[in-house]
Amino acid sequence: MLTDLSLATVTELRAHYVAGILTPVEVVEAAIRRIEALNGTLNAICTPNFMEARHLAAEQVVQLSAGRPLPPLFGIPVTVKDLTDTAGLRTTFGSALYADRVPEADAIVVERLRAAGAILLGKTNTPEFGAGGNTTNAVFGATRNPWNTALTSGGSTGGGAVAVATGMGTLAEGTDLGGSLRTPAAFNGVVGFRTSPGVIPFWPGDDAFDTLWVSGLMGRSVADVALGTAALAGPDARAPQSLATGAVGDLVAALASPSMAGLRIAFSPDLGGLVPVAAAIREACAVAARRFEALGAVVEEASPDLDGLSEVIMATRSLAMVASHAERVAEHRARMNPNLVWSVERGAALTAGAMAKAGRLRSAIWHRMRSFMAHYDILLTPTASVLPFPVEQSFPTEVDGVQLADYTAWFHLTYAITVLGLPAMSVPCGFAPGRLPVGMQIVGGWRRDALVVAAAAAFEAATPDLRGQPPILAQFAA
């Protein structure tokens, strides 16, 4: 019998359901108890959904007794980010402008979670409209890091990362633009997967043809995230960029006895000087990268040529912010996050010539990266350039004494991979002083999502010593 139901994996829960050892009611109640014990301190869940969760769990007990085939996420407790629409359940975007908004329809990813049998426990906190790497807003306040509650949980899926890290849900749905799944995964010691764009259809959204925003999952293990992603993947006409099932390989098959023998792996501590990286993070990731050598891979320190990428990031991000928020900022500027306002105003000042140049630069960088990845199967980088910073601080302004250019610069390690459209997974890879978790980003080539899963699974299996549980869990009963 599992000793802590709240920390059980997808595979463990399914096996116990099939064997008749557990029921979804027991698992949901354990997760609710964990939320009630910890959420007052951590503020991860902003809108609970306990009544519906209990009702569905009771219905699933009947399904179990009937001996019917179980869908892939049957009885799995999940949380959904407060940016993602949930029919009948408040979705505020972390904005006071939408504090009482209740959508009429589910986002595609929520439709698929429900169809796969997942049980929605609640919505998780996010910065306003997901803009920023510190999860705090005027509606719900700040979400705190369970490894040190004086520090940020990261963002923008900070609430989801904390929920997963502490057993408030087995999986957390989130979105990723500049690193919103990967950065909070690193800050909270969990796994976050940004797939190739289109693996999980993204709808609703302001731009149906956008390739920068993706929906995705976080979990406590690579297998949980891969199994969940496979259950959500597949095309949908509402999302014209969505990919056919299997377009990025078989994510489930990639979990079975993954081999790294003979693979060529590049480790880049800072993507060729794209952004300064804290010494403690560089050291932890360098040590972790070398663990792949024991798995039979060839590891070299090498960086792609990303010259001009910061300009591309600023242009594409600013344009996206203008497209989504210009009208709101014009009307409600004083009530909105200053960082979001800054992004919109900077985007509004862009000229057509600047946007055209950014497009040319992006294409040139893509082809240089494509050539680089022809020599390597996997690229490893730190996920974040900084450790979790004080929760009251909007964003870090320097890294080890080096000043940063603006509020986005510190997460360019993840944003670079977004701009290039490559799959990437952040996995726990050790600890910095103060026992703060460090994340390593595993990046694959074009649509090589299955290889990313295989590499992450192999690394995870070989490095149990590089992970742990947040100390706050020791203060509360399961």
CA dist., res. 80 & res. 109, Å (int)? 9
CB atoms within 10 A of CB 211: 15
Domains with residue ranges and CATH for the chain = 5-311+350-475 (3.90.1300.10)
DSSP 86: B
**pLDDT recorded at residue 92:** 98
pLDDT in tens, 217-227: 999 999 999 99
**pLDDT recorded at residue 477:** 54
In the block, tokens 């090498």 appear at: 302
277 phi/psi in degrees, rounded to 5: -125, 135
Q: Are 93 and 206 in contact (CB under 8 A)?
A: no
Which SS3 state, helix, strand or coil, does residue 322 take?
Answer: helix
CA dist., res. 62 & res. 58, Å (int)? 7
Which sign, positive or negative, has the C-alpha torsion 60, 61, 65, 70? positive
**pLDDT recorded at residue 341:** 86
**Nearest residue to 415 via CA among 243, 61, 177:** 177
Which SS3 state, helix, strand or coil, does residue 437 take?
Answer: strand
Which SS3 state, helix, strand or coil, does residue 143 take?
Answer: coil
Which sign, positive or negative, has the C-alpha torsion 392, 393, 395, 401? negative
Beta-bridged to residue 362, according to DSSP, are none
Rounded to two decimals, the pTM is: 0.97
**Nearest residue to 136 via CA among 124, 146, 128, 145:** 128
Catalogue the active-site residues: 81, 156, 180
Residues (pLDDT < 50) of the chain are: 478
Q: What residue type is assigned to position 79 of the chain?
A: T
CA dist., res. 375 & res. 387, Å (int)? 31
Beta-bridged to residue 194, according to DSSP, are 424
Q: What is the DSSP string of 410-435?
A: GGHHHHHHHHHT--EEEEEEEEETTT
